[in-house]
């Protein structure tokens, strides 16, 4: 489940990716320049994919906090003798 920060990061990336994709479609379909159109569409897809998979230096503290909280808040395993 994505948090609010992840949603804001995606929205920021889409601010750049959507105009590039629309310009690529314009070049590809209307103007007939397939190389430029395909490059712009590839750039738009690449922006979203890189934003989703790339770990930035600013993301490292968030990842560390998630790991620490996950370690501290693990639920204890139930003993088989407790099921009476």
How many residues would you count in the chain?
A: 84
Identify which has the larger pLDDT, 1 or 2: 2
What 71-77 contacts at long range (C-beta under 8 Å, 24+ apart), as own/partner pairs, is: none
Instruction: Give pTM, 2 decimals.
Output: 0.62
pLDDT tens digits, 28-77:
999 999 999 999 999 999 999 998 887 667 767 777 777 777 666 666 66
Average pLDDT for 11-17? 93
């Amino acid at each position: 489940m994505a948090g609010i920060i992840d949603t804001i990061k995606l929205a920021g990336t889409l601010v750049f990716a959507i105009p590039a994709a629309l310009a690529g479609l314009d070049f590809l379909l209307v103007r007939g320049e397939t190389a430029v159109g395909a490059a712009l569409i590839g750039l738009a897809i690449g922006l979203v994919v890189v934003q989703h998979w790339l770990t930035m230096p600013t993301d490292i503290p968030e990842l560390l906090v998630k790991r620490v909280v996950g370690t501290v808040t693990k639920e204890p395993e139930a003993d088989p003798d407790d099921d009476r």
